[in-house]
Amino acid sequence: MPVKRLPSKPNLDHLRYQAKDLLKDHAARNPEVAQRIREFYPRLHGATDAEIFDAQLKLSDAQLAIAREYGFPSWARLKRHIEKPTLSDRLNLPHHERIEDAAFRRAVELLDAGDAAGLRDYLREHPKLAQQRVVFEGGNYFRNPTLLEFVAENPVRRGRLPDNIVEVARVILDAGVERSALNETLMLVATGSVAREYRVQVPLIDLLCDRGADANSATHAAALHGEFEALRALIGRGARIDLPVAAALGRSEDARRLLADANAEDRHLALTLAADFGHVEIVRLLLDAGEDPDRYNPVGGHSHTTPLHQAAGRGHEEVVRLLVERGARLDLKDILWRGTPADWARHAGRTEIEAYLRERERISE
C-alpha cells in the first residue's frame, strides 16, 4: 500500500501514540491492523491474520511497523529524520534535488539534459558511479537507486524525458551495471507513465532485455498499474503468462488452464487484478476455486483495499454484484482513507453502484 506521508512538522510523541494504538488494535484483532502489520513488520510478512493476532508484539515492534509505514527502515531512522534532518530528508523536493553526493548529482544532471556524450566522458572519469547507489527514504520505492534507474522518470521528478533517453540509458549500461539494477529499472520503466507518454517505454524495455534484464521480473507490476502495452512488450520478450497476467488481460481460457497449478499467492493476486479490471468470468472462476472476497489485496497489489473496493471505484458493476452475492463484506474499510466500498463508489462518481451498495447495507442491518 502507499506509505503514509509525514506532516510538514512531524511530532515524535504523536508517532509513539500511533505505535501504542497499533498495539491496542492488534489486541482487539482488527483485520485492518493485521494487514498493516503483514506489510510493514518484516517478521510477520506473509503471515495469516490468525498468526499475526497470536504473535506477541512489544512497543518496539509497533514502532518499527510505524516507521516502515512512513517509508523508513527503522524507528531510529525515522527519529533521526525528525530530529536531525539533512538534504536527503527534504521530502518536498524532487529526488534529484535531494542527492547529497555531488558527483552522483552531476551525473543525473547530464542524464536529465540528454547529454549522452558528456555523460559518457563523465562516467569514464568516475567509473564507480554506474554501480553506486543513493539512499532516499520516506517513500514506497526508489529507495536505493543506481544511476540507471533515473532514466525511467518514475517516480516523476521533472515530468519529461530527453528525446535521446534510450541512447543515454545505453551509455550507462556500457559503463557496467548490476543485474539487480537492470531488473529494477525494467520495473520502473514498465510502470512509468512518463516513459509511456514519451513513447520510449517499449524501446527502453527492449534495450534492458537485450542487456539481460528478466522480462518476468516486471510483469506483475505492469499489470497492477494497468500498463498493458508494457505488459505485452514484456510477453513479447519472453515473459510467461501466469495466472495473475492472464487475469489482468482478461484471458479466461488461460486463467482456467493455469488455475490448478497456481500457488496461493498467484491466486490472491489474480483475484485482485480480475476485480480491478472488471473481468467478471475470471473473478467467478477464482471465487469458485475458494478465493476469499473479504481478504485485503496482497502486499504490493492495492493492499489497502479489498477486491470490492477496487471494483466499486472502477465502476465494474457486474463484478461488484458478483462479489456481494458471494458474501463480500460491505462494511470493511480501506486502510488509508477509512472508506467502505460504497464510499469508494461515491468518491469515483459511480452513482448506480453506490446506490446498490447502500441498499445492500440497509438490507443487511
| Domain spans of the chain, in order of start | 12-85, 95-240, 244-364
Quick check: do 95-240 and 244-364 share a fold? Answer: yes
The 10s digit of each residue's pLDDT in 316-349 is: 999 999 999 999 999 999 999 999 999 999 999 9
Sign of the alpha-carbon torsion through 15, 21, 27, 30 = negative
244-364 CATH choice from 3.40.50.150, 1.25.40.20, 3.20.20.70, 3.10.129.10: 1.25.40.20
Q: Are 35 and 295 in contact (CB under 8 A)?
A: no
Q: Are 119 and 171 in contact (CB under 8 A)?
A: yes
Nearest CA to 206 out of 176, 247, 243, 236 is that of 236
Tell me the average pLDDT across 211-239.
97
Tell me the average pLDDT across 108-116.
98
Q: What are phi and psi of 347, to 5 degrees?
A: -60, -35
The 10s digit of each residue's pLDDT in 150-186 is: 999 999 999 999 999 999 999 999 999 999 999 999 9
Is pLDDT at 225 greater than 90 in this prediction?
yes
Q: What is the pLDDT of residue 8?
A: 85
- Helix/strand/coil for 133: strand
What does the alpha-carbon distance between residue 53 and residue 166 come to, in Å, rounded to a whole number?
49
Is pLDDT at 363 greater than 90 in this prediction?
no
Element housing 307 (H / E) = helix 307-314
Is pLDDT at 141 greater than 80 in this prediction?
yes
Which residue is listed with cell 512512513?
A: 70
Nearest CA to 51 out of 63, 64, 41, 65 is that of 41
pTM: 0.91
Nearest CA to 200 out of 155, 164, 157 is that of 164
Sign of the alpha-carbon torsion through 240, 242, 246, 249 = negative
Q: What are phi and psi of 161, to 5 degrees?
A: -135, 145
Is pLDDT at 365 greater than 80 in this prediction?
no
Q: What's 146's DSSP letter? A: B
Q: Are 188 and 150 in contact (CB under 8 A)?
A: no
Task: Fill in the amino acid letter for 350.
Answer: R
- Helix/strand/coil for 331: coil
Q: What is the pLDDT of residue 301?
A: 86
What does the alpha-carbon distance between residue 358 and residue 335 come to, in Å, rounded to a whole number?
20
Is pLDDT at 46 greater than 90 in this prediction?
no
How much of the chain exceeds pLDDT 90, in percent?
Answer: 94
Is pLDDT at 215 greater than 90 in this prediction?
yes
Is pLDDT at 15 greater than 80 in this prediction?
yes
Q: DSSP letter string over 38-96?
A: HHH-GGGTT--HHHHHHS---HHHHHHHHHHHTT-SSHHHHHHHHHS--GGG-TTS-GG
Cis bond leading into 155, ω under 30°? yes
What does the alpha-carbon distance between residue 89 and residue 136 come to, in Å, rounded to a whole number?
8
What does the alpha-carbon distance between residue 264 and residue 266 come to, in Å, rounded to a whole number?
6
Q: What is the pLDDT of residue 1?
A: 73
Query: Which residues sit opposite 133 in a β-bridge?
Result: 146
Q: Which CATH superfamily is domain 95-240 in?
A: Ankyrin repeat-containing domain (1.25.40.20)
Q: What is the pLDDT of residue 44?
A: 95
Sign of the alpha-carbon torsion through 319, 325, 328, 330 = positive
Tell me the average pLDDT across 18-47.
95
First-residue to last-residue Cα distance in the chain: 30
The 10s digit of each residue's pLDDT in 63-108 is: 999 999 999 999 999 999 999 999 999 999 999 999 999 999 999 9
Is pLDDT at 364 greater than 90 in this prediction?
no
Q: What is the pLDDT of residue 346?
A: 97
Q: What is the pLDDT of residue 299?
A: 87
The 10s digit of each residue's pLDDT in 184-212 is: 999 999 999 999 999 999 999 999 999 99
Here the cell at position 348 is: 469515483
Q: Are 273 and 248 in contact (CB under 8 A)?
A: yes
